[in-house]
Amino acid sequence: MQAKDSARDAEEARASRDELAAAAKETERKLKSLEAELAQMSEDLASAERARRAAESERDELQEEINSNSNKG
């Protein structure tokens, strides 16, 4: 009876180990996916910030042009 219990315990331990290994693999896959998503979002943010600075610069130049034209009138 004891050998049977030990064999069952060993099988349960192997099954648990396999489940944990599968869960760890899935977690690692999700982590890599999230890291890639974070990198893409960081690139998108940097691009948006560059576009914002360019738009602000253009806005400032146009405002200066408007101001200089109104002073001439």
Q: pTM for the whole thing?
A: 0.67
What's the distance, CA 52 to chain centroid?
22
73: confidence class by pLDDT, cuts 50, 70, 90: low
Dist CA 21 CA 13 (whole Å): 12
- pLDDT in the model for residue 1: 72
Mean pLDDT rounded to a whole number for the chain: 95
The amino acid at 54: A
pLDDT tens readout for residues 17-69: 999 999 999 999 999 999 999 999 999 999 999 999 999 999 999 999 999 99
pLDDT tens readout for residues 8-17: 999 999 999 9
* DSSP symbols for 7-43: HHHHHHHHHHHHHHHHHHHHHHHHHHHHHHHHHHHHH
Dist CA 24 CA 30 (whole Å): 10
